Amino acid sequence: MVKTVKNDLLEAGLIPNVEKYLNGLLSSVWIVPQTFIYSDASPSGCGAWVSECAGMKWDEIGLSLKWLKTPLGENSNIMIPGHIKARQAVYPKSKVERFPVPDNKVSWMLNGRSTALSDTQRINSAGPVWADPDIMQEAGPSLKFNCVDGNVNRISYTGHYECIEGIPRNPCGRTGLMERGTLGKWGPNHAADPIVTRWKISQSGEKVLHSCSDKPILKFISIRRVDSGEWAIPGGMVDAGEKVSQALKREFGEEAMNSLALEGEKLKAVEEAVADLFEHGVEVYRGYVDDPRNTDNAWMETMAVNYHDDDGNSVAKFPLHAGDDAAAVQWHDVGSDIKLYASHSSFIQLVAERLRAHWHL
Ligand code: BGC
């Protein structure tokens, strides 16, 4: 049986708050559903999301966004058009064109096609140390999916993903490109995104309110990525065997404070400052990322954590220096007009909502 989520939320007595929440989602989040439709076949599906929301306050509903990102697929509960950047025509750093996938062909339940790479188009098959073997081409050691395989975490935040003849299948549906593109791992590739924020303060020391929304303006530390030139959260990949909490600190240190270029006392001071700030973080998102590098068989996932310096006494004094994969670093004003890499602006929106900061005009 197929129903609209909105009706169920209505029945659960969550309107008008949910109405506002869904409208926010429709206009800004990377998964842009026209209608939320789900089949209530599975007990852990959206039915669970609805009842879980029923006891929640408005803010908490905002944070349960991950439930709406339940994957598409045969075992899926929510059917949404899904990823957009992961379907963009030309694959990053290549001339390879994806097979066009319209919204109504994203789901694996429907017939559709993806481009198969030729030998000359194959990206990443040379196998840098951090990359998996090319399991489509070689009969190498088999990889264990949906579990921790040696020191590589192949568990998806989205739940169990399907493997067809030993090859994982993107839980958000078709991307128009087979194999693993430039990503290192087949299946989920895990990243960590630290969102460091403070309030915008006037010369007289007051919070600056936005002239239209009348809400205080938040600032966050952003970096310009070397690979795409886009502004982004200073995140990065979780290394094999590394904890996400370590990756959050390490990536922030490397990209926003250039810790890789520091030694001795200077390095120690930076590490201490970061460790201090990163003691109290609030997770705002964990799940699939609509990344342009995603393919049918390899995709990005992340955990985004907010570290907020409410009184401006710690982070605001950080010396920012771009390093590693970052070409530049700066404090960026938060608002719905920001254009960021992959799904990063949707994570920033969650932070703005959490801190009741300005977002929409
Ligand atoms: C970036 C993360 C991002 C992830 C998914 C990584 O390369 O460093 O910030 O969230 O890709 O797009």
Taking phi first (over 0 means left), then psi (-120 to 50 degrees means alpha), and beta for anything else, what does residue 146 get? Answer: left
Is 190-354 assigned to CATH 3.90.79.10? yes
Q: Whose CA is nearest to atom 9 of ligand 1?
A: 235
Residue 82 confidence (pLDDT): 64
Ligand 1 atom nearest 304 alpha carbon: 10
Q: Which residue minimizes the CA distance to atom 12 of ligand 1?
A: 291
179 close to ligand 1 (CB < 6 Angstrom) = no
Of the residues 289, 301, 303, which should be mutated to test ligand 1's pocket, given the most ligand atoms within 8 Å of the CB?
289
Residue 287, pLDDT score: 87
> Amino acid identity of 265?
E
Residue 332: per-residue pLDDT: 94
pLDDT beneath 50: ranges in the chain = 1-6, 8-9, 12-81
Centroid of ligand 1 to alpha carbon of 99 (angstroms): 24
The predicted pLDDT at position 126 comes to 64
Spell 269-305 as b/e; 16+ CB within 10 A means b.
Answer: ebbebbeebbeebeebbbbbbbbbbbbbbbbbbbbbb
Q: Give me the helix-helix angle, 244-256 and 264-277, nearest 10°.
A: 130
CA of 39 to the centre of ligand 1 (A): 31
Atom of ligand 1 nearest to the CA of 251: 8
For ligand 1, what atom is nearest to the CA of residue 301?
5
> What pLDDT shows up at residue 86?
94
Residue bearing tokens 């810790």: 259
What is the per-residue pLDDT for 271?
80
Q: pLDDT tens digit string along 60-90?
A: 333 333 333 333 333 333 333 368 899 999 9
Is the minimum distance from the CB of 191 to ligand 1 under 6 angstroms? yes
Domain ranges of the chain: 2-68, 190-354
pLDDT at site 7: 54
Give the ligand 1 atom nearest the CA of 341. 12
> Phi and psi dihedrals of 324, rounded to 5?
50, -120
